[in-house]
């Protein structure tokens, strides 16, 4: 696909979960657009491998989004080094909360799913908003990354879906609260994209059987009117637009990017 760039020269941009999939594609896109880029992830070696061979050198801050202390340390470092934050992309997540019917999950499953996929987003938003409100000039843009599973649920993915539904609701609430504060808050809601997380999901659902894995993938494709998986760069392009001045009158929006997968249900 043709790469569209926006001018993020000297803008401080944070991408959580920026070492893989949509987060990594988004990091590359912001870097090409001139941003002063910070990415997070749990594995520093993975981050270096992901960005090796490129002309971009984002700052990597090792952060586990399921740990509140790690999130506080992340924002302490951002405040100390940059003193501001212009765009935040809350993308970090994991696949906890999938793979079983709702009644087979136990309390630790629930707590882990919410910690990684909902509480971590809330804590990041809390710190991002406080920083954006206090900086000069005040303002910024926040883009949260949810999932179409959060629009209505998914069998075998109740806890993950619940967490992503929470992200969508938090986004809409914050957008209304901040509408006159020059801070825009939107949510990207991707469908099936060709990411390592989705490939892991295919393998898990097929029990490692290659033939069954192909069947599982085809099942997904059958539900997508475009008959293909999305590419991470396609989601990244939407995120860059939402964070830019080109989307200056867009806040509280749920941008669904799923090849038409959920069109018949909404």
Residues 6+ apart with CB under 8 A from 76: none
CA 90, CA 215: separation in Å to the nearest integer?
32
* Beta bridge partners of residue 38, listed in sequence order: 14, 59
Residues 6+ apart with CB under 8 A from 81: 59
Maximal CA-CA distance, the chain: 57
The angle that helices 232-243 and 21-32 make with each other, rounded to 10 degrees, is 50
Per the annotation, the verdict on 82 as an active-site residue is no
- φ and ψ at residue 64, rounded to 5 degrees: -100, 110
Active site residue: 6, 8, 160, 249, which one? 160
At which residue do the structure tokens 């938090």 appear? 170
Contacts from 61-65 at CB under 8 Å and sequence distance 24+?
63/16, 63/92, 65/16, 65/17, 65/40, 65/92, 65/93, 65/116, 65/120, 65/121, 65/124
Strand-pair category, 140-145 with 36-41: unpaired
Q: Which residues are catalytic?
A: 160
């Amino acid at each position: 696909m043709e790469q569209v760039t926006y001018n993020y020269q000297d803008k401080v941009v944070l991408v959580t979960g920026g070492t893989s999939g949509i987060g990594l594609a988004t990091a590359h896109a912001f870097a090409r657009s001139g941003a002063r880029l910070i990415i997070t992830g749990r594995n520093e070696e993975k981050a270096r491998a992901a960005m090796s061979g490129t002309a971009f050198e984002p700052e990597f801050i090792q952060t586990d989004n399921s740990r509140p202390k790690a999130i506080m340390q992340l924002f302490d470092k951002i405040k100390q080094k940059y003193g501001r934050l212009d765009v935040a992309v809350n993308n970090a997540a994991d696949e906890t909360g999938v793979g079983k019917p709702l009644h087979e999950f136990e309390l630790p499953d629930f707590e882990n799913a919410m910690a990684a996929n909902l509480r971590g987003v809330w804590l990041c938003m809390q710190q991002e908003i406080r920083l954006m409100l206090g900086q000069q000039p005040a303002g910024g843009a926040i883009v949260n990354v949810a999932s179409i599973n959060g629009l209505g649920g998914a069998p075998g993915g109740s806890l993950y879906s619940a967490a992503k539904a929470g992200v969508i609701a938090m986004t809409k609430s914050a957008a209304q609260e901040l509408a006159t504060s020059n801070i825009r808050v939107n949510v990207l809601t991707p469908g099936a994209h060709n990411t390592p997380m989705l490939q892991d999901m295919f393998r898990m659902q097929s029990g490692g059987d290659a033939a069954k894995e192909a069947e599982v993938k085809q099942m997904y494709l059958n539900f997508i009117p475009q008959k293909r998986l999305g590419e991470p760069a396609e989601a990244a392009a939407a995120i860059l637009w939402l964070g830019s001045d080109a989307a200056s009158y867009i806040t509280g929006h749920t941008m669904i990017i799923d090849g038409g997968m959920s069109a018949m249900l909404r």
